[in-house]
A and B are shown apart, each in its own frame.
Chain A
Amino acid sequence: GAVVSQHPSWVICKSGTSVKIECRSLDFQATTMFWYRQFPKQSLMLMATSNEGSKATYEQGVEKDKFLINHASLTLSTLTVTSAHPEDSSFYICSARGRWNTEAFFGQGTRLTVV
């Protein structure tokens, strides 16, 4: 299957700082990218969807000013957690779909810990 690389795999940051997570599709053009948050022992919660050439669409309850998403190119999307707080600690996963696929390919996830 297609490869999606997510970086970093884990990060620890101080409360009040910002953290950027990158998601790259390595062997296909990702026309749509999804960002999810996963709490321990729970399902994937969709945070936002970004399509090629348009701004990200955020799910209800997700603060767009706090979770900045940039779909910079067809192979790169970034999620920036601004002014992070301990309650933002979670596992964040991106997934990407190409123009001709309907299945999603997931990155490895990023474990964020805010102290």
Chain B
Amino acid sequence: GQQVMQIPQYQHVQEGEDFTTYCNSSTTLSNIQWYKQRPGGHPVFLIQLVKSGEVKKQKRLTFQFGEAKKNSSLHITATQTTDVGTYFCAGLKAGSYQLTFGKGTKLSVIP
């Protein structure tokens, strides 16, 4: 079945440093989505990428979708303590209604 690999599993950064998490799918995706889960909370939708090579920005967050539509990345510039949480990517396979989640990257920010 479809697999979505996400690395790293954990990342500890000093406040102000950058952070990147990577997502790789075993199959071509129709779109990829990113979610953030704060400690004790539920996943919240951040963004969706649909087009090959697409890049989207939300303030300090930059999301990229690979040319082959099989990989994606989330980059946070100058992390803040409010960025703490687990970031999940989720891939939607072409022709399917099912989202497959990566294992998530847990981000800790040291003040």
Task: Give the interface of A toward B (CB within 8 A).
Answer: 1, 32, 34, 41-44, 46, 49, 51, 93, 95, 97, 102-109
A103 touches B97 (CB 8 A): no
Contacts of A97 in B (CB 8 A): 97
Residues of chain A lying within 8 A (CB to CB) of residue B69: none
Given A103-B33, A109-B42, the answer on whether A44 and B88 have CB atoms closer than 8 Å is yes
Is B66 interfacial (CB-CB < 8 Å)? no
B45 near A105 (CB under 8 angstroms)?
yes
Q: How large is the interface on B (under 10, 10 to 19, 20 to 34, 35 or more residues)?
A: 20 to 34
Closest beta carbon of chain B to A41's beta carbon, Å: 7
14 sampled A-B residue pairs with Cβ under 8 A = A34-B98, A43-B103, A44-B43, A44-B88, A46-B98, A49-B97, A49-B98, A51-B97, A93-B42, A93-B43, A102-B92, A103-B33, A104-B45, A106-B42
Beta-carbon contacts of B10-45 to A below 8 Å, as 1s and 0s? 000000000000000000001101010000011111
Identity of the chain B residue whose Cβ is nearest the Cβ of A31 in the assembled complex? B97
What is the CA–CA distance of A29 and B106 in the complex, to the nearest angstrom? 32
